[in-house]
Structure 1
């Protein structure tokens, strides 16, 4: 069995060809798609976070709104760039959203990806001190965030407060019990996956990673997952970890599918650079008739290793079509692969 959800970047553009022409469209349609996905039996509604872009940005109002409109589906991010975050304020937002959703938040965080502007986190008031990189700063923010999610008091109370305090040091409120175990780290390298395992974070691995061996993407990603699980076992955590991978997958079951994706997916991996030094490998996409698609996906070693699969959706094609994309995978592909 495998959990299957969707991942939306929430793109919008004021173009006649787009069904998502404004930020309001992107947000409201994201809520509607989560509701539709839950009705179809999908397991998760996940959203990407990008700053300075015509995409989804501030995640917590959206997560809380989805939580209020749904009852069962997991709600998450993949991922929040921790270079931009005040970890204490973020813990309050996350706690509130999780309580509204009844404990269904699955929050993906990371050091971030290439961004729209130069050092955008500086505009948010953050800068790494001398001797620290922006990636170091992101991990430091993450560690503070994880610490305060434990719910332990750390702040000395005012002896003359406006309202009565409970005894002892104060923690951040609202606190949502169990949220700490539902935090995921988006890792692009094997080393950061191992770091995440040691901290007791679930693992999110997307469609790109550092090209560390020159092997095909899905083989490198599967090796990353196995290294993560080995580090988790060595750390001695009491619970089992969770691992997700994301893929662009389209089952061609009607004329719309063939019109949009009938020329097939991107059959091969590609190589690029995510910064001046880091060579990255980008995984292929899949688009084919269901029988052929099933054979292709069965050969993807990383999907086989993961317990959760996130389907990246073309959100600008509208809610109805994206619900159809999800339903086609759940109906025509997942059962044959043993995912359902």
Structure 2
């Protein structure tokens, strides 16, 4: 089994998750800001940046397009999605897009996906699937279709020449290794399923209490990671990424610290009891100096079981706040978790 992080032990990969907000009336500056953040992350030595996917909202609705642009501005950093809801996607077409961007990036794409009925589906199902909205299958079979296409399995019963055009029976382009970088998240049953499929497992700041008597977030997250690894056929290569909202304050101004603490306090009530549906339990937000945060993380059952981290940036902060948080995560908290920036990362102002 993969060694658990411990005091003085190495955190193998450090990343963060961004929602990529923009002004709906003038979206370009916000989208450019997201790309600038990814460039800054590479300069700071981060291992990864993950993009949230938000449909019909002023956020990243097309993470594959953002990754394509980011792949041309960066050289090393991994680019992930957390997550693409497959209910709004055709797995074959998505496989073509992901493979294209993975090749452009040099093999740096980490597609995180989810299934289930899309959020607010009743309000736009006729626009999304005019004739098949009642027939669509939103089960895990959609993930299997995507994996099959990414692995290069046949998707057509024809291969050959038609006139002067050449056709293959598998998705083009084919990017070897991309299927092994697919991630899936969810509760206990999803953790078991992801392990059985041999794909990677994403955790977040929300867990489901289904299948457990515990009401402690860290304990439940630890149980789910253990279940994932117990069912993975190649546990030495089973990748788990933990995600929490962690806000270091080492270089923050007094005003920033006040706002960060008010933000965490405003969200604390929801962490006390499971929320419907499916008994969803939220993690508290962690705010404080790096030394304090490191102690809290090393005591966290989920953190103890993951050697890759993608801290989630809060939704509603200003660009200067994100710059301070991203800088302190890499330069203050990272070293206290025994993480080392990538060798080609360079200090930035």
TM-score by length of 1: 0.86
**Which residue matches 1:211?**
209
Instruction: Using the TM superposition, give the Cα deviation of residue 113 of structure 1 relative to its aligned residue in structure 2, in angstroms.
Output: 8.0
Q: Deviations over 1:93-131 (max 9, x none)?
A: 1011111111000110011587245364553215464xx
| Structure 2 unpaired stretches of 5+ | 1-9, 341-349
Structure 1 residue ranges without an equivalent (≥5): 15-20
Structure 1, residues 177-212: CA drift from partner, whole Å, max 9, x if none? 11000000021x111111111111100011111113
Give the superposition deviation at 1:164: 4.3
In structure 2, distance between residues paired with 1:308 and 1:177: 23
Task: Considering Cα pairs closer than 8 Å and 6+ residues apart, tell me whether 1 or 2 has the greater RCO.
Answer: 2
SS in 1 for 2:71: helix
Contact 1:83–1:121 under 8 Å retained in 2:
no
**Distance (whole Å) between structure 1 residues aligned to residue 89 and residue 263 of structure 2:** 39
Deviation at 1:290, TM superposition (A): 2.6
Contact map agreement 2:47 2:77 (CA 8 A) in 1:
yes
Using the alignment, how far apart are the partners of 1:313 and 1:91 within structure 2?
28
Mapped to 1, the partners of 2:188 and 2:217 lie a distance apart of 13
Structure 1 moving runs of 4+ over 4 Å: 119-122
Q: Distance in 2 between matches of 1:7 and 1:114?
A: 21
**What is the 5 A alignment of 1:194-273?**
194-212=192-210, 213-232=213-232, 236-237=233-234, 240-253=237-250, 254-255=252-253, 256-263=255-262, 265-266=264-265, 269-273=271-275
The residue aligned with 2:41 is 37
Alignment of 1:295-310 (within 5 A): 295-310=295-310
Q: CA RMSD in A?
A: 2.5
Query: How big is the shift at 1:315?
Result: 5.9
- Is 1:180–2:182 an aligned residue pair? no
Q: Any idea what the Cα deviations from partners look like across 1:296-324, whole Å, max 9, x if unmatched? A: 22211101211211121246544453232
CA distance in 1, matches of 2:148, 2:322: 37
Question: Equivalents in 2 of 1:22, 1:214: separation in Å?
Answer: 46
**Matched residues in 1 for 2:243 and 2:118: separation?**
18
Report the number of matched residues.
321
Q: Distance in 2 between matches of 1:260 and 1:162?
A: 65
